[in-house]
Amino acid sequence: MKVTDSVQYIKGVGPKKKAELNRLGIVTVYDLLTYFPRTYEDQSVLTRISDLRVGEQQTISGIITKLQERQGGRRGMTILTALISDGSGFLQVTWFNQNYLKKQLQVGRRIFVTGRASYAFGGRGQFAMSQLSSFQILTEEEDAAAQCGIQPVYPATERLNQKFFRKLLKEALAADVELPEVLPAAVCRQYHLMARREALATIHFPKDFTALKAARRRLAFEELYLIQCGLMLLKQKLQQSAKGIRHGADGVLLQRVEKSLPFALTHDQDGAWQDIRQDMERDLPMRRLVQGDVGSGKTVIAMLALVKTVENGCQGAMMAPTEILAEQHYESFCRQLQPFGIRISFLSGRLTKKQREAVYQEILRHETDIVIGTHALIQEEVHFHRLGLVVTDEQHRFGVAQRTALEKKGDCVPDVLVMTATPIPRTMTLTVYGDLDVSLIRELPPGRKPIRTFVRRPDRRPLIYRYVHSQLEEGRQAYVVCPLIEMDEESKLPSAEEIYDELRYGIFQDMPCGLVHGRMRPADKEAVMEAFYQGDIKLLVSTTVIEVGVNVPNASIMVVEHADRFGLSQLHQLRGRIGRGSYASYCILVSEGKTQQARERLNIMEKTADGFQLAEEDLRLRGPGQFFGSMQHGLPDLKIANVLKDSDILIEARKAALESLRRQEDLAFVLPILELQYQEQFRHITES
Ligand code: ADP
Ligand code: MG
């Protein structure tokens, strides 16, 4: 049997079960084998009956030695009583009105019982249990298997229970499935990895915790190694498939532009810029990620790189995730670069067909130097003449696939620069951006007034908003961020719409207010954002749609309602919308702070402005699922490895992948496996 065969070939899977399994994403035998236990029941931590402590929840295992059935009570209940022995003592267990158990309860069978013990009449070591919290009566076969003690617990459903999965996985592991070793022998040896077949068998039915740990390590290693190899292969392929553009040393144009900047680059900005220049001047295509906190000044770095490519006779493209961001970049680039005769075009879905076609022509005929736009840049009709550099801003909004689509737009392999403000802990960067080199910008430009952050309870809202009003009177603008768009009966939280109405008909009735949320038509959304940007709207109520990169220096105050609903990284991104001008800026987080943990979490926001620290804190408190979720990343969900807890395995796996690549081992095997495992997410690698 092959791993790609349908799960239906496994004994016990008929059409009905197959449909149920498919619903869980289990289609092939491989999917089933990698349907890893959620956790394990450790029946090896059993209490001996004689050691039972009255009143405490404990689990025992024993053999049924005696059974009794009688009618009792006024309504003639059936009362089943079993006497269980484990050699140390006797436990009497009673069930009321559970006739269906009669068949399963047989003298001689092993039973596991969890519940609270009480004293029974009789001698020492005799206890009783009713009101069991769980019990499991084993068949003979199961008894043999259960001797190992540790039982897998699967993410089960109503129709597919634990028992079904345990049985099914036993069948699958017993079936003759081809499970070749995928890791190179040298890697297995060097990193002391358990063999693949053994690891898969052990992860489902471990004989003890040492074996389980080794199996888990092996499978996590495999997963991370394969992803690392995949990402490195992707990088190699792109770098080898054609020669990159070798940019010349900086010329006069670049020097003049640099001199015209209204500020000197910070140390970190300069570092990133040096990295980029070196990359661009090499034969190999650049693939670099610039990671810098909000407001750290990534745009100017991108601009310099684009000027460098223009000076080398190439075109450059920059893709932003939203219309408004693209427009902002377009405006600032025009302001800075047009005086030097650099031609800049704008491309977005909002242009009319005719306008768009005109831009396509400009691009094709090389009548423009830099094109700034949204997803519209990756439309089929866009053909660059000599594309030298591709910049994507706020990368996490794009999938890897979209990024690569833009890279393929030219007739040669362009240099690639990716910019993200999402502070990603280091080990995670390796998983998510394994195909990119990284430059960090950690410091903010000098002279920034730090944003002062306060956590306040909802009863202070009138005061808070009076203060906001006074700031608007002084000419500033303000954001109010809410987690929900519409009323939600269940959570009882006021929505953005309600808060908007409360404010604009209340204390802000003399101020122009606006509302923007994710469910609005893009054009309407953009119109409101534009009005805020222009200063026509003073108070903007919004959901998190404003999270990304918008620059309104006059906005100096932000109120976040129900702040506890957001992750720290997200709050930090939101907060980055203010403090962009020369005004003192305030961020007020409104929260009930019901639990100690919720309060502590938000208090971190008051104390630190370091996005990296907040991201790690977030990751620690909320786990990677949430973290990745909020990032809308384009990379695979890991099946077994945990980016947070397995960072040591990740580092080893990455090292092994690098070594494999350096030794020029044949890694052709990697891609089919990645595709099998992650399907969609890696298809673009195999296709390219
Ligand atoms: P982000 O990294 O969030 O994209 P931006 O590139 O939008 O940040 O920069 C934020 C602001 O900082 C802009 O107004 C920009 O002009 C300014 N800025 C960038 N670099 C410097 C610097 N070295 N000194 C002073 N101001 C700077
Ligand atoms: Mg930016």
pTM greater than the 0.95 cutoff: no
| Atom nearest to 393 CA in ligand 1 | 4
The answer to whether 367 and 343 have CB atoms below 8 angstroms apart is yes
Question: What pLDDT sits at residue 686?
Answer: 41
Question: What pLDDT sits at residue 236?
Answer: 72
Question: What pLDDT sits at residue 65?
Answer: 92
Structure tokens at 295: 């407001």
Give first-to-last CA distance, the chain, whole Å: 30
Question: What pLDDT sits at residue 180?
Answer: 83
Amino acid (one-letter) located at 603: N
The ranges of the chain with pLDDT < 50 are 625-635, 679-688
Angle between helices 267-280 and 299-311 (to 10 degrees): 30
d(CA 562, CA 591): 5
| Atom nearest to 553 CA in ligand 1 | 14
Question: What pLDDT sits at residue 613?
Answer: 78
Looking at the chain, the number of H-run helices and the number of E-run strands are 24, 22
CA of 298 to the centre of ligand 2 (A): 6
Question: What pLDDT sits at residue 625?
Answer: 47
d(CA 65, CA 67): 7
| DSSP H or E stretch at residue 114 | strand 110-116
Question: What pLDDT sits at residue 489?
Answer: 53
Amino acid (one-letter) located at 116: R
Strand partners, 432: none
Question: What pLDDT sits at residue 273?
Answer: 97
Question: What pLDDT sits at residue 525?
Answer: 84
The closest ligand to the CA of 272 turns out to be: 1
Question: What pLDDT sits at residue 684?
Answer: 42
295 CB within 6 A, ligand 1: yes
39-42 and 150-153 beta bridge pairing: antiparallel
**To test ligand 1's pocket by mutation, which of 270, 296, 577 has the most ligand atoms within 8 angstroms of CB?**
296
Q: What is the DSSP string of 632-657?
A: T-SSPPPSS--TTTTHHHHHHHHHHH
296 CB within 6 A, ligand 1: yes
* Three-state SS letters, 60-112: EEEEEEEEEEEEECCCCEEEEEEEEECCCCEEEEEEECCCCHHHHCCCCCEEE
Distant-in-sequence, close-in-space partners of 656: CB < 8 Å, separation ≥ 6: 187, 190, 191, 221, 225
The answer to whether 311 and 253 have CB atoms below 8 angstroms apart is yes
267 CB within 6 A, ligand 1: no
